[in-house]
A and B are shown apart, each in its own frame.
Chain A
């Protein structure tokens, strides 16, 4: 009995600093935000109670609606892109290759630098006369040869596969040995057609395309600055998520693939019927983590202030911040608190789904 009391005391002593921190900066903070969401506080005048007015006001506020749509669209697109990209890269990297460590490092390096650094570099890359514009210009000017290359390669591959199959050899449509030859044929062919002037390299000047200040939206939904953030964030999160898939892939028993090989399955079938089902727990984890992470979009939006129009990029998280520290306006803490709680509710429901379906957290490690 005495020993148990002592152990309890020891435990609370060990936990004391954490408890104090959590009480002040989490508990008190959460309670106050909840309280503020029912008041009209402005950071200076003591708050007065307003009931649920803030919640009623927020659902009718156009900017909140825009922030919500931006956040959800961003969340959906980025989660989809990064999950597929990370899975494909993990599959390519999950082979017995020398230099695998190097590639893993090379892929992962950009994502350890801060979102600020990467975003600034991307802002520079996506300037109207930046590096991206340069590459787009080159691609546009080489449209003819590129098209010729693709067509010739596809034709060469089709012909070779047909030829080998006629010989009774088990060549798949993407047979690597034939593909190498087809690619070379495509290169030579495209070069030849260009040299003889059949297809032309044009010399058009670059289109001045400003990703970061355009107001219009792709398909009426995604603004160009938001598309910029989508590209940037997909780029930085793919390598991190790839690590999860790599860990997951190493847990797939090799014997499954060997058994499938004996049955004569193609690589595509192996992916479809072995890899993807076996990775389901990891995929679920990656998707939910991605959703939770993308719902918090803040840094990029903040860094684009002064460049991109606010409405084109504003996210829920930035909406909250912007209502508290609004440049030149009065702080609307009540409204911000209500929005923050809505964001928290969305996040928490995703977390609940995650906790409910991921049986044990060790599934991915």
Chain B
């Protein structure tokens, strides 16, 4: 593409080259627009994923490249993790640990280099911990930093100085429990400028004087996915001490499984009856379903909540104590047992199947049930896959009914409700280092589902009208 405007000589009619230039330019501009749109639509998700690795996802200005993306730090984290507990992945501080750490400072010419002050602090991890945490500080033995080298170097402002390297060791002599973390606070005297260490510090405080390490023996995963480990680790049930986030994930998976089973089964049966079987009241029943589909959930949830709490017409005795269905997965399952949109979808699908299928089965003397199970269902493959996937996606993302059916205690939540709880707990303090990883984790299964079964998603939208 030339910078010079295409000038056509005296010919008044556009020639082939003139038209071709327009085609190419047009394609180029269209691609540019599409790429910009991709940036807009994918950007938030991608940048949130990237930022979920940061120590502080709200840092300003937001960086695209940060310590956690530096392979040198990965290698250091791995080595330190192995030195701390023999585990290069998750790290920790175990008996026999021998962690050797170096830290470098720029010292102005004429100033006497002073070794930094190193402390293993007792920092309380997480919010709700039922069990007393194990502190590395109780078992660590610190060998004071000593100078290993000093080379001439320029200070940040360009004046002459020297780069001084100190090394210190943290060991775990004798026997004891394994501490999950080895926190460190390294404080340099005034005037010495921090110039790097074995591992990039978690935080730099007090105008660069204090380098804080959340874990100086983190291991590869413990370093790169620190926030992700903390999501599982920090939020714990007050009663059982179990990881809440893990429990929410399991609840969500369980709910998806139950909901998919009931929806696929009941929607296929009902859809088949509505599409193919003649019975009095078929037309009005279908109209009724269409009407009920449009009712907002807000019209239904008061009674459905009460049904879960008090039971219905004395049937609660079948379900055990009153209130037995409230705050339980079966309760959530019951109020969302089958979606009417799914019935509608399956009816539409069964109407497209050729009638010859059933007629052949009838001639062979099959009963209606046999026809349904042996002839119709095996031919409904694509529709069933589409229904399964859209139902699974909807159930995984279900928010309103989960909010109504699962209120206390917090280990009954599914992921969306749990994320809401995280937002209320940490969002107020503007701490997004747990909220973002939590959100990303709960997006991953749906994204995988989407990438694998993309075709069915787009089909599903085209037939159900995107109703969730």
Q: Distance in Å from the Cβ of B149 to the closest Cβ of chain A?
A: 39
A56 to B64, CA, bound (A): 56
Contact B270 A29 (CB under 8 A): no
List, in ascending order, chain A residues with CB within 8 A of B317's CB: none
Q: Distance in Å from the Cβ of A117 to the closest Cβ of chain B?
A: 5
Q: Within residues 132 to 188 of chain A, which ones have a CB less than 8 A from any CB in chain B? A: 133-134, 160, 163-164, 167-170, 175-181, 184-185
Contact B450 A109 (CB under 8 A): yes
Residue of A nearest to B420 (CB): A303
Q: A7-B368, A105-B454, A115-B399 are in contact. Are A30 and B41 (CB under 8 A)?
A: no
Contact B397 A317 (CB under 8 A): no
Question: Quick one: CB contact mask for B314-339 with A, threshold 8 Å, 1 for yes?
Answer: 00000000000000000000110110
Interface flag for B1 (CB, 8 Å): yes
Q: Within residues 316 to 365 of chain A, which ones have a CB less than 8 A from any CB in chain B? A: 316-317, 320-321, 324-325, 333, 336-337, 339-341, 343-344, 347-348, 351, 364-365
Residue in B41, B301, B428 whose beta carbon sits within 8 Å of that of A235 in the complex: B41
Residue in B6, B25, B338, B447 whose beta carbon sits within 8 Å of that of A21 in the complex: B338
List, in ascending order, chain B residues with CB within 8 A of A351's CB: 294
Contact B22 A175 (CB under 8 A): yes
Q: Within residues 33 to 57 of chain B, which ones have a CB less than 8 A from any CB in chain A? A: 33-34, 37-38, 40-42, 44-45, 47-48, 51, 57
Q: A25-B307, A306-B424 are in contact. Are A114 and B443 (CB under 8 A)?
A: yes
Contact A109 B447 (CB under 8 A): yes
Interface flag for A2 (CB, 8 Å): no
Interface centre among B1, B298, B439 (most CB of A within 10 A): B298
Contact B277 A340 (CB under 8 A): no
Contact B3 A14 (CB under 8 A): no
Interface flag for B260 (CB, 8 Å): no
Q: Distance in Å from the Cβ of B122 to the closest Cβ of chain A?
A: 31
Interface flag for B463 (CB, 8 Å): yes
Contact B269 A343 (CB under 8 A): no
Contact A184 B273 (CB under 8 A): no
Chain A interface size, under 10 / 10 to 19 / 20 to 34 / 35 or more: 35 or more
Contact B296 A340 (CB under 8 A): yes
A28 to B288, CA, bound (A): 14
Q: Within residues 328 to 376 of chain B, which ones have a CB less than 8 A from any CB in chain A? A: 334-335, 337-338, 340, 343, 368-369, 372
Contact A169 B25 (CB under 8 A): no
Q: Distance in Å from the Cβ of A5 to the closest Cβ of chain B?
A: 10
Q: Within residues 2 to 53 of chain A, which ones have a CB less than 8 A from any CB in chain B? A: 4, 6-8, 10-12, 14-15, 17-18, 21-22, 24-26, 28-33, 36, 43
Contact B21 A340 (CB under 8 A): no
Q: A21-B338, A110-B45 are in contact. Are A320 and B443 (CB under 8 A)?
A: no
> Which segment, of A88-96, A191-199, A258-266, faces chain B?
A88-96
List, in ascending order, chain A residues with CB within 8 A of B465's CB: 285, 289, 364
Contact B30 A14 (CB under 8 A): no
List, in ascending order, chain A residues with CB within 8 A of B265's CB: 17
Residue in B22, B62, B393 whose beta carbon sits within 8 Å of that of A176 in the complex: B22
Contact A112 B446 (CB under 8 A): yes
Contact B304 A347 (CB under 8 A): no
A303 to B439, CA, bound (A): 13
A74 to B280, CA, bound (A): 43
Q: Distance in Å from the Cβ of B455 to the closest Cβ of chain A?
A: 10
Q: Distance in Å from the Cβ of B24 to the closest Cβ of chain A?
A: 8
List, in ascending order, chain A residues with CB within 8 A of B5's CB: 160, 163, 178, 181
Interface flag for B221 (CB, 8 Å): no
List, in ascending order, chain A residues with CB within 8 A of B403's CB: 302, 321
Q: A14-B273, A113-B446, A122-B44 are in contact. Are A107 and B302 (CB under 8 A)?
A: no
Interface centre among B57, B279, B450 (most CB of A within 10 A): B279
Q: Distance in Å from the Cβ of A256 to the closest Cβ of chain B?
A: 20
Interface flag for B272 (CB, 8 Å): yes
List, in ascending order, chain A residues with CB within 8 A of B270's CB: 14-15, 17-18
Residue of A nearest to B290 (CB): A355
Q: Distance in Å from the Cβ of B186 to the closest Cβ of chain A?
A: 27
For chains A and B in complex, what number of residue pairs have CB atoms within 8 angstroms? Answer: 314
Interface flag for B432 (CB, 8 Å): yes
Residue of A nearest to B285 (CB): A15
Q: Distance in Å from the Cβ of A258 to the closest Cβ of chain B?
A: 16
Chain B interface size, under 10 / 10 to 19 / 20 to 34 / 35 or more: 35 or more
A325 to B463, CA, bound (A): 35
Residue of A nearest to B451 (CB): A105
Interface flag for B430 (CB, 8 Å): yes
Residue of A nearest to B371 (CB): A10
List, in ascending order, chain B residues with CB within 8 A of A175's CB: 22
Residue in B29, B266, B304, B404 whose beta carbon sits within 8 Å of that of A18 in the complex: B266
Residue of A nearest to B418 (CB): A116
List, in ascending order, chain A residues with CB within 8 A of B42's CB: 106, 109-110
Contact A125 B44 (CB under 8 A): yes
Q: Within residues 230 to 251 of chain A, which ones have a CB less than 8 A from any CB in chain B? A: 235, 239-241, 243-244, 247
Q: A32-B303, A365-B463 are in contact. Are A116 and B269 (CB under 8 A)?
A: no
Contact B3 A184 (CB under 8 A): yes
Q: Within residues 237 to 255 of chain B, which ones have a CB less than 8 A from any CB in chain A? A: none
Residue in A21, A121, A302, A339 whose beta carbon sits within 8 Å of that of B420 in the complex: A302
Interface flag for B71 (CB, 8 Å): no
Interface flag for B28 (CB, 8 Å): yes
Residue in B288, B302, B424, B462 whose beta carbon sits within 8 Å of that of A32 in the complex: B302
Contact B302 A333 (CB under 8 A): yes
A25 to B302, CA, bound (A): 10
Residue of B nearest to A184 (CB): B3
Interface centre among A15, A298, A324, A364 (most CB of B within 10 A): A15
Residue of A nearest to B60 (CB): A129
Residue of B nearest to A122 (CB): B44
Residue in A12, A317, A321 whose beta carbon sits within 8 Å of that of B279 in the complex: A12
Contact B37 A343 (CB under 8 A): no
Interface flag for B123 (CB, 8 Å): no
Contact B58 A120 (CB under 8 A): no
Q: A15-B273, A124-B58, A129-B58 are in contact. Are A169 and B47 (CB under 8 A)?
A: no
Q: A7-B368, A123-B427, A206-B60 are in contact. Are A180 and B29 (CB under 8 A)?
A: yes
Residue in B3, B297, B447 whose beta carbon sits within 8 Å of that of A113 in the complex: B447
Contact B443 A14 (CB under 8 A): no
Interface flag for B231 (CB, 8 Å): no
Interface flag for B379 (CB, 8 Å): no
Contact B25 A14 (CB under 8 A): no
Interface flag for A299 (CB, 8 Å): yes
Contact B303 A28 (CB under 8 A): yes
List, in ascending order, chain A residues with CB within 8 A of B306's CB: 32, 43
Q: Distance in Å from the Cβ of B252 to the closest Cβ of chain A?
A: 10
Interface pairs A-B: 7 shortest CB-CB = A114-B397, A168-B12, A29-B303, A14-B273, A11-B279, A11-B277, A176-B25
Enumerate 10 A-B pairs (CB-CB under 8 Å) in ascending A order: A14-B273, A33-B299, A109-B447, A115-B399, A116-B419, A181-B5, A296-B296, A299-B399, A303-B420, A325-B407
Given contacts A116-B442, A179-B25, 19 further A-B contacts (CB under 8 A): A11-B277, A14-B273, A15-B269, A17-B337, A29-B302, A32-B306, A33-B300, A109-B41, A112-B450, A120-B439, A124-B57, A129-B60, A181-B3, A289-B465, A299-B400, A321-B298, A321-B404, A344-B296, A348-B295
